[in-house]
Copies of this chain bind each other. A is one copy, B any other.
Amino acid sequence: MNNGKAVRPALVYLSAEALGGFPQQATPGAVAIELVHNFALVHDDIIDRDSFRRNRHTLWKKFGIGPALLTGDGLHILAIDTLLDPGTARARTAVGLLTRAMIATLHGQAHDMGFPHRPWSGPTAVTPEEYRQAAGAKTGALIACSAAIGAVLAGGGGTPRQVARFAAYGRHLGVAFQCTDDVIGLWGKPETAGKPVGSDLLEARKTLPIITALASGTPAAGRLLELLSHSEEGPAADDLPEALDLLEEASGRSAAEAQAEHHMTAAVQCLAALPISAAARDELHAMALYMTRRDR
């Protein structure tokens, strides 16, 4: 995923519109969210030492760690500055939501950062539940915040209860999005995934399909563990086709897809109790489908 389709600012606008807001009211929120998202990407790429994103060299890879780090810091502070700019009480509430989401995101990232050092199996292996919590924080918090900020900045301003409902919608959507992203990181076409087929496996990332497959206790899981333990760096490139087959056999793919489906449905259910038009509901539903569809 990460195809730069600006789903987060789109969510800000959609939830603002759903509550009767004008686009202009939501713009500072949409801009701030996209700035924060890009700040997180730029710093994540440094942390993960990722060389490619969207089929291009990452910022640190091209210009060095210092300039990339500083660029991320700049995007971060510009986001706060942009959101705060109107100087209204509503803007202040929105900044509060954003800072809390960013703190949650950092918690998720910090948790996530420990994953590479954990073993593939045994009592200290990463569990699917742990993974979901980290994903909820790392990816869900900012997407939840996108929907919530839209609701805060809209027309008369959403009630706290409505804002919370938009946040819950966004949070489920975020987890579904992350599950889908994990499937794409293994089976996605290079042109849509922005990286080679199976790259998450070759880089020995502890993503949901892999963790779930290993936890399945099946013979396929046993063989997969052998391949993953080939070296400290992960499986051998030659073993990639077999490893991908084993992942499917041990239900790694189907479980991740089912998780995505589950959270997508939960997201849509959050919309039911909101006082929004059928058209707005349809748009938010379509957004959920768009973010988790599998034809990419």
A-side interface residues toward B, CB under 8 Å? 43, 46-48, 65-67, 69-70, 72-74, 76-78, 80-81, 84, 87, 92, 95-96, 99-100, 102-103, 106, 109-110, 113
Copies in the complex: 2
* B110, A70: Cβ atoms closer than 8 Å: yes
The residue of chain B having its C-beta at the shortest distance from the C-beta of A40 within the complex is B73
The interface residues of chain B lying within 8 Å CB-to-CB of A109 are 70
Distance in Å: Cβ of A35 to nearest Cβ of chain B? 12
The residue of chain B having its C-beta at the shortest distance from the C-beta of A91 within the complex is B92
Query: What 9 A-B pairs come out closest when comparing CB atoms?
Result: A47-B66, A81-B99, A77-B102, A74-B106, A80-B99, A92-B92, A77-B99, A80-B80, A77-B103
What are 17 contact pairs spanning A and B, CB under 8 A?
A: A43-B73, A46-B65, A46-B66, A46-B69, A47-B69, A47-B70, A48-B66, A65-B65, A67-B113, A69-B69, A70-B106, A72-B73, A73-B76, A74-B106, A80-B95, A81-B96, A87-B96
* B95, A84: Cβ atoms closer than 8 Å: yes
CA A43 to CA B48, docked complex, whole Å: 17
The interface residues of chain B lying within 8 Å CB-to-CB of A80 are 80, 95, 99
The interface residues of chain B lying within 8 Å CB-to-CB of A76 are 73, 76-77
* A106, B73: Cβ atoms closer than 8 Å: yes
CA A81 to CA B104, docked complex, whole Å: 12
CA A46 to CA B46, docked complex, whole Å: 11
* A84, B103: Cβ atoms closer than 8 Å: no
The residue of chain B having its C-beta at the shortest distance from the C-beta of A110 within the complex is B70
Known contacts A43-B73, A92-B87; A66 and B113 CB within 8 A of each other: yes
* A70, B103: Cβ atoms closer than 8 Å: no
* A65, B84: Cβ atoms closer than 8 Å: no
CA A139 to CA B95, docked complex, whole Å: 26
* B74, A103: Cβ atoms closer than 8 Å: yes
The interface residues of chain B lying within 8 Å CB-to-CB of A99 are 77, 80-81, 84
Distance in Å: Cβ of A258 to nearest Cβ of chain B? 31
Q: Beyond the given A48-B66, A81-B99, could you list 12 further A-B residue pairs with CB under 8 A, ordered by the A residue number?
A: A46-B65, A46-B66, A67-B113, A69-B69, A70-B106, A70-B109, A72-B73, A80-B80, A80-B95, A84-B92, A84-B96, A95-B95
